Amino acid sequence: MFSGDPSTRPLAVIAVGGNSLIADRSHPEVSHQWDAVRETASHIANMIQAGWRAVITHGNGPQVGFILRRNELAMHEVHTTPVDLIVADTQGSIGYMLQQTLNNEFFQRKLPLQCVTIITQVRVEPDDPAFAHPAKPIGGFLDEARARQFERDGWQVVEDAGRGWRRVIASPEPVEIVEEQAIAEAVGAGWIVIAVGGGGIPVTRNRAGELRGIAAVIDKDLATSLLAARIRADLFLISTGVERVALHFGQPNQQDLDQMTGSEALRYLGEGHFAPGSMKPKIEACLRFLAHNPNPDAYALITDPANLERALRGETGTRIVRDR
Q: Is 71 a catalytic residue?
A: no
* CA 290/CA 182 separation, integer angstroms: 23
Selecting among 198, 282, 293, 317, the annotated active-site residue is 282
Q: SS3 of 194, please? A: strand
Our answer to whether residue 18 is catalytic in this structure is yes
Amino acid at 259: Q
The single residue of 17, 59, 220, 293 carrying the catalytic annotation is 220
| 58 three-class SS | strand
Q: Which residues pair with 116 in a beta bridge?
A: 193
- List the catalytic residue out of 60, 61, 136, 200: 136
Helix axes 220-230, 280-292, angle to 10 degrees: 10
Determine the distance from the C-alpha atom of residue 31 to the mean position of all C-alpha atoms in its chain, rounded to a whole number: 22
| DSSP notation for 121-184 | EEE--TT-GGGGS--EEEEEEE-HHHHHHHHHTT-EEEE-TTS-EEEEE--PPP-EETTHHHHH
What is the β-pairing status of strands 53-58 and 11-16? Answer: parallel
Active site residue 280: no
- Which residue in the list 18, 61, 198, 199 is annotated as catalytic? 18
Summarize the chain as % helix, strand, coil (round to 5): 40, 20, 40
CB 295 within 8 Å of CB 232: yes
* Bridge pairing between strands 246-247 and 192-194: unpaired
> Which residues participate in catalysis according to the annotation?
18-19, 136, 220, 282
